Amino acid sequence: MKKKCRFEVIKGDITSLEVDAIVNAANNSLLGGGGVDRAIHKAAGPELYEECLNLDGCATGESKITKGYRLKAKYIIHTVGPVWHGGYRDETDLLASCYQTSLKLAYQHKIKTIAFPGISTGAYRFPKDLAALIAVNETKRFVSKNNYPEKVIFVAFDQENYEIYRKLLEK
């Protein structure tokens, strides 16, 4: 019997995916920002902003969950990635924590399918290769010990990120 693959990389728009949860690369306020955060808030509608007002923000490296509202995804897991400062401010540990805490929420809510963007790789300037390596390593470690999530999708916004993830997942 062939073992089913629990990882996938796609190039596209995370807001359009039919999955149980998408992960939002949020800022500490959780009230919307730029990049994927802005796109998710826009696609989910004003109800997301209203729910986020009651969450009292989120610390860097931590995660919180909300409903998906107008998205096809049932849930949004908001995680706050670190701003890159050359690797001297625990950025790698904080980014790893983003994946760990997001996956823990997915497990607690029995989320079968989850999609991650490239956390911290946009305006926060985290090196894309290193960020992808942390993402893949942390998710592989987590799913090897847990039944949920059953499938993890890495969503690349551009061809460069797609190739980075594709090569890592082929190993």
Q: What is the CB neighbour count within 10 angstroms for residue 118?
A: 25
pTM tops 0.85, yes or no:
yes
pLDDT digits (tens, 9 = 90+) for 30-64: 999 999 999 999 999 999 999 999 999 999 999 99
Q: What is the pLDDT of residue 4?
A: 58
Tell me what the mean pLDDT of segment 89-93 comes to: 97
Q: What is the pLDDT of residue 105?
A: 98
pLDDT digits (tens, 9 = 90+) for 113-147: 999 999 999 999 999 999 999 999 999 999 999 99
Q: Looking up tokens 């997301």, which residue turns up?
A: 48
Asked if residue 85 has pLDDT above 70, the reply is: yes
Asked if residue 3 has pLDDT above 70, the reply is: no
Asked if residue 2 has pLDDT above 90, the reply is: no
**pLDDT interval class at 1 (50, 70, 90):** very low
Q: Are 162 and 128 in contact (CB under 8 A)?
A: no
Tell me what the mean pLDDT of segment 76-91 comes to: 97
Judging by beta carbons within 10 Å of its beta carbon (0-12, 13-18, 19+), is residue 103 exposed, middle or buried?
buried
Assigned superfamily of 7-170: Leucine Aminopeptidase, subunit E, domain 1 (3.40.220.10)
The residue ranges of every structural domain in the chain are 7-170
pLDDT digits (tens, 9 = 90+) for 16-29: 999 999 999 999 99
Residue 79: beta bridge partners?
25, 63
Active site residues: 37
Distance, in Å, from the CA atom of 119 to the CA atom of 131, rounded to the nearest integer, reads: 7
